[in-house]
Amino acid sequence: MSADAEGFDRKVPLPPELKIAHIRRAIDYIERETSELIEVYFEQANVFSGLVGIFGVRALHALSPYKKHKHPDVAQQRFPDLSLGGKLSPPPEQALESKGTTRPWALQSHYNHAGWYIVWRYLVDPTGMIKAGKKVVIWRVDVAFLKEDDWKYEGSNAAEGRGGRTHTFGVKLPASRFSSAIAYRHPKIILRQSRPTLANGEE
């Protein structure tokens, strides 16, 4: 990887007109805002991941040329989260979806839409030791253009009277797919046993 001292890799392809500076400022924004809501993580971690994705959308909407759909009711439930200039039906090359997750590689969605995906991979550090005063740390940002072929269908056995999750799509071979899409990686955090860990052994 050819990252700079801060952890940003300028060789990773980005969506048109999206710059490393936009990502850097978005990381600051997400970490600052979500650190205020840390108690939500301990109540319902999956909901908190949704919040991380939402704050990612808000940050890029405010800081980059990518804008939310101009109709709020559509923006909150339709693909994509953002598009270049806020176009209503952007081509995949100008569609940008924001997702937050704690997982090191995997990515799931209910659809296999083609487009750009920016994945905010975060960890929760209640001590605020990794980044001073930040209880939520974005330790990696993946930016990748995914085609329909990059997704695989993951079915569901949910049934009446039994419950279960709805079906999803998952990215095929996520580790190899995202290994070349790491736009930012915290210089002091490494993966150990598939978990982000401080390089000196502390988490």
Partner DNA sequence: GGTGACGGTCTGAGTCATCA
Partner DNA sequence: TGATGACTCAGACCGTCACC
Q: Which residues make up the interface to DNA (CB under 7 A)? A: 44-47, 49-50, 53, 73, 76-79, 97-106, 108-111, 152, 154-158, 162-166, 168, 170, 172-176, 191-194
Q: Which is nearer to DNA, 10 or 96 (CB)?
A: 96
CA nearest neighbour of 107 among 31, 168, 27, 39 = 168
What size, in residues, is the chain? Answer: 203
CA nearest neighbour of 119 among 102, 135, 136 = 102
Q: Which is nearer to DNA, 89 or 194 (CB)?
A: 194
State the Cα–Cα distance between residues 100 and 167, nearest whole angstrom. 19
Q: Which is nearer to DNA, 35 or 102 (CB)?
A: 102
Q: Which is nearer to DNA, 70 or 172 (CB)?
A: 172
CA nearest neighbour of 123 among 71, 75, 173, 52 = 52
Q: How far is the CB of 120 from DNA (least distance, A)?
A: 8
Point out which residues pair with 191 in neighbouring strands.
Answer: 196
Tokens found for residue 87: 């176009």
Q: Which is nearer to DNA, 49 or 94 (CB)?
A: 49
Q: How far is the CB of 150 from DNA (least distance, A)?
A: 11
Whether 70 contacts 51, CB under 8 Å: no
Q: How far is the CB of 16 from DNA (least distance, A)?
A: 21
Q: How far is the CB of 203 from DNA (least distance, A)?
A: 13
